[in-house]
Amino acid sequence: MPNIKIIDTVDEQKKGLMIGDFSRTMIDAIKEKLSKKEGIIIFQNKRGYASYIICHECGYIPHCHQCDVTLTYHSTGNELRCHYCGYNKKTSKICEQCGSTKLKYKKSGTQQIEKRLEEIMKEENVKCNIVRFDFDSVTRKGTHRKILTEFIDGQIDILVGTQMVAKGLDLKRVTLVGVVDANTQMEIADFRAIERTFQLLSQVAGRAGRSNEKKGDVIIQTKSPNQYAIRTAQKNDYENFYQIELKNRKENHFPPFSHYCVIEFYCKKENEVETKTREFYNILCKIYSKIITNKNAPLIIYPPFAPPITKLINNYRKQIVLKSIKELDPKSKNLNTLITKTKELYNKEHATANVNIRIDIDSYKSM
């Protein structure tokens, strides 16, 4: 296994040791490996130039007109793009709301990481060839193979990429992997976010030092250096991570200790989806109180809530989450009965053609 070092970016920032997104430690390690003609992978699990643009004067952030998400800035084509519906438009140099020219780029994507690293190496008087390796850079046929071939041959010194550089690459000349921001995956609203962080860090760390002759180094930059997914990944301690994560899942009734059901309502009209979701929820609770009489209730029903993306492709969304505790409802009999009876009564008394319903039980298993 490679040597894995964790860098606290909050602490480094206070000490004045951060150069943009890079710590002084990572820059020095990159320079050392370049002097030895060894390969380097820089990992940032966010494509585009920046996650969003914000006006420094009025705080305006461009959003997709079809989805409730910020538009990602891509320097290639100077575009703002939605990664959900594909909507895009040219970037303006002035704020659409107040006309200010003070626009800031927030949360660096792979394009900005590539550009900033090139600038830093130039400032450090270091010559190197840096190439981006992500979904946006390999759209043309043959580009994927061409980049990897040139990297293996030493024509490319540094690959900057997303998950594409984290999995399956067996490149003997790679002796350094730098993770720009290990918090990116953990910030996603998903009960599997911590697990995926550990998985990604373990996978990307495994790209370094695959040659028996050269020891690999991994530098992980993070704002949360004591987070257990990061600490256990540093030690390659899957067993400890597994025990901590399993304990947390059990305490919060998350899979594998429950069946996880998401009932989603979506409609073009916001007030209508709100009304129908509430009607469905009321029926759900009413029927549940009748079919469940024991004190150890096998189901947990959460009130309606708006998901992180409240509008997607012109549809407003609301969700209801149910958890069926496996110890008390091992075959999901209570869950299935409750949903079936609720749907029957809802369809009979409240359903309309405008509001669509999607019911997913344990859909995460196929993701």
Starting at the earlier edge strand, list the strands of the sheet with 88-90: 88-90, 79-81, 72-74, 50-55, 103-108
Domain assignment present for 96: no
pLDDT number for residue 91 = 86
pLDDT number for residue 151 = 87
pLDDT number for residue 210 = 67
pLDDT number for residue 35 = 93
Contacts of 211 (CB under 8 A, 6+ apart): 172, 173, 175
Q: Are residues 221 and 197 in the same domain?
A: yes
pLDDT number for residue 34 = 94
pLDDT tens per residue across span 32-42: 999 999 999 99
Strand partners for 105: 53
Q: Would you report the helix, strand and coil content of the chain in percent, each value rounded to 5?
A: 35, 25, 40
The answer to whether the peptide bond before residue 307 is cis (omega within 30 degrees of 0) is no
Domain assignment present for 79: no
Domain assignment present for 100: no
From 183, 217, 248, the end of a domain falls on: 248
Q: Are residues 287 and 351 in the same domain?
A: yes
Q: Are residues 232 and 290 in the same domain?
A: no
Count of the separate structural domains present in the chain: 2
User: Closest by alpha carbon to 174, among 141, 201, 207, 221?
Assistant: 207
Q: Are residues 13 and 157 in the same domain?
A: yes
pLDDT number for residue 296 = 65
Q: Are residues 125 and 210 in the same domain?
A: yes
Tokens 């084509």 sit at which residue?
77
Q: Are residues 270 and 239 in the same domain?
A: no
pLDDT number for residue 295 = 60
pLDDT number for residue 82 = 84
pLDDT number for residue 231 = 95
Q: Are residues 266 and 118 in the same domain?
A: no
From 226, 248, 270, the end of a domain falls on: 248
From 248, 277, 292, the end of a domain falls on: 248
User: Closest by alpha carbon to 73, among 53, 87, 44, 58?
Assistant: 53
pLDDT number for residue 102 = 86
Can you give the pTM of this predicted structure?
0.81
pLDDT number for residue 364 = 67
Q: Are residues 238 and 292 in the same domain?
A: no
Q: Distance between CA 353 and CA 270 in Å, rounded?
A: 15
User: Closest by alpha carbon to 180, among 323, 43, 318?
Assistant: 43
CATH classification of the domain holding 238:
3.40.50.300
Q: Are residues 231 and 311 in the same domain?
A: no
pLDDT number for residue 367 = 46
pLDDT number for residue 186 = 81
CATH classification of the domain holding 272:
3.30.70.600
Q: Distance between CA 157 and CA 355 in Å, rounded?
A: 53
Q: Which parts of the chain sit beneath pLDDT 70?
A: 49-50, 138-139, 168, 209-212, 293-296, 364-367
Q: Are residues 33 and 177 in the same domain?
A: yes
**Domain limits for position 315:** 258-366
Q: What is the DSSP letter of 215?
A: -
